[in-house]
Amino acid sequence: AQSVTQLGSHVSVSEGALVLLRCNYSSSVPPYLFWYVQYPNQGLQLLLKYTTGATLVKGINGFEAEFKKSETSFHLTKPSAHMSDAAEYFCAVTYSGNTPLVFGKGTRLSVIA
Amino acid sequence: GAVVSQHPSRVICKSGTSVKIECRSLDFQATTMFWYRQFPKQSLMLMATSNEGSKATYEQGVEKDKFLINHASLTLSTLTVTSAHPEDSSFYICSAGGGLGLRTEFQETQYFGPGTRLLVL
């Protein structure tokens, strides 16, 4: 079975500050890990993913995440927050492209001017 | 990334009527499509997994006779909410995954539609 824990249902940062959203996963098989972003009343947009290969992955809008197998973590970071980053962020795990994603509960990111 | 469309984006209907939601994968042929439901300020709840040409696999607690899923082609899946009631009001989101072809990103990744807001009066 797979599971995802996102620490912090709400994270608030100042504009220009570091963004760190935490995600820990549990998986008995090599995981595929994803971060998605959701703006109000919209679907989910893929930020980045890890499947195999390089453990530091870069995504859109300046976000990146590092897969740490020893820590079972896949934390999302961005060096400098922008107002437009305010949204809901979901971490998800699966083991193939055609198996269901298991989502964390989500973290709402607020950016303060 | 790939584009997945959903239609309609918003629907208001009377209690007892049926509503059909379409999900189309525009950039790749998807072997599998998924239907999720999302309540306000909550995460996504998987309703069913649909493979092209096969019957959908429903999650525990999801009424298959109420939520009819058809995956007739590699680019189209439909969700029909039959005899809708106010408690069925929600945000429904589809995703497409398991893409065929050479592009690894389409094979490994699920791409989501923009969602359909259903309000049953």
Which pLDDT value is given to residue A13? 98
Give me the residue from B42, B46, B112 closest to A44, CB to CB: B112
Which pLDDT value is given to residue B104? 78
Which residues neighbour A46 within 8 Å (Cβ) at sequence distance 6 or greater? Answer: A34, A35, A36, A59, A60, B1, B109, B111, B112
Question: Is B115 an interface residue toward A (CB < 8 Å)?
Answer: yes
Does the N-terminal peptide bond of residue B86 adopt cis geometry, omega within 30 degrees of 0? no
Which pLDDT value is given to residue B53? 84
Amino acid present at B63: E
What are the backbone angles phi and psi of residue B4, rounded to the nearest 5°?
-120, 130
Question: Is A59 an interface residue toward B (CB < 8 Å)?
Answer: no
Chain B, nearest residue to A5 by Cα? B43
Q: Do the bridges between strand B10-13 and strand B30-38 make them parallel or antiparallel, or are there none, so unpaired?
A: unpaired
Mean pLDDT (whole number) for A16-26? 98
Place of tokens 């492209």: A97
Amino acid present at B107: Q
Chain A, nearest residue to B52 by Cα? A98
CB < 8 Å to B110, chain A = 34, 94, 97, 101
Contact B2, B25 (CB under 8 A): yes
Give me the residue from A43, A90, A99 closest to B43, CB to CB: A90
Question: Is A14 an interface residue toward B (CB < 8 Å)?
Answer: no
Which pLDDT value is given to residue B52? 86
Question: Is A89 an interface residue toward B (CB < 8 Å)?
Answer: no
The residues facing B49 across adjacent strands are B34, B57
Q: Where are the alpha helices (DSSP H) in B19-114?
A: 104-108
B100-103 long-range CB contacts below 8 Å, 24 or more apart?
A: B100/B28, B100/B29, B100/B30, B100/B31, B100/B74, B101/B28, B101/B29, B103/B28
Burial of B54 (0-12, 13-18, 19+ CB in 10 A): exposed
Q: Do the bridges between strand A107-112 and strand A10-14 make them parallel or antiparallel, or are there none, so unpaired?
A: parallel
How close does chain B come to A70, measured CA to CA in Å?
23
Which pLDDT value is given to residue B41? 87
Question: Is B49 an interface residue toward A (CB < 8 Å)?
Answer: yes
Share of chain A above pLDDT 90, in %: 88
Contact pairs from chain A to chain B, CB under 8 Å: 64
Mean pLDDT (whole number) for A80-98? 95
Which pLDDT value is given to residue A74? 98
Contact B120, B86 (CB under 8 A): yes
Q: Helix or strand or coil: residue B2?
A: coil
Give me the residue from A43, A100, A106 closest to B34, CB to CB: A100
Question: Is A101 an interface residue toward B (CB < 8 Å)?
Answer: yes
Higher pLDDT, A40 or A22: A22
Taking only the tens of pLDDT, chain B with its 121 residues reads 789 999 999 999 999 999 999 999 998 899 899 999 999 889 999 999 999 888 899 999 999 999 999 998 999 999 999 999 999 999 999 999 887 776 777 788 999 999 999 999 9
Which pLDDT value is given to residue B102? 67
Question: Is A7 an interface residue toward B (CB < 8 Å)?
Answer: no
Average pLDDT, chain A: 95
Which pLDDT value is given to residue A41? 86
Share of chain A above pLDDT 70, in %: 100
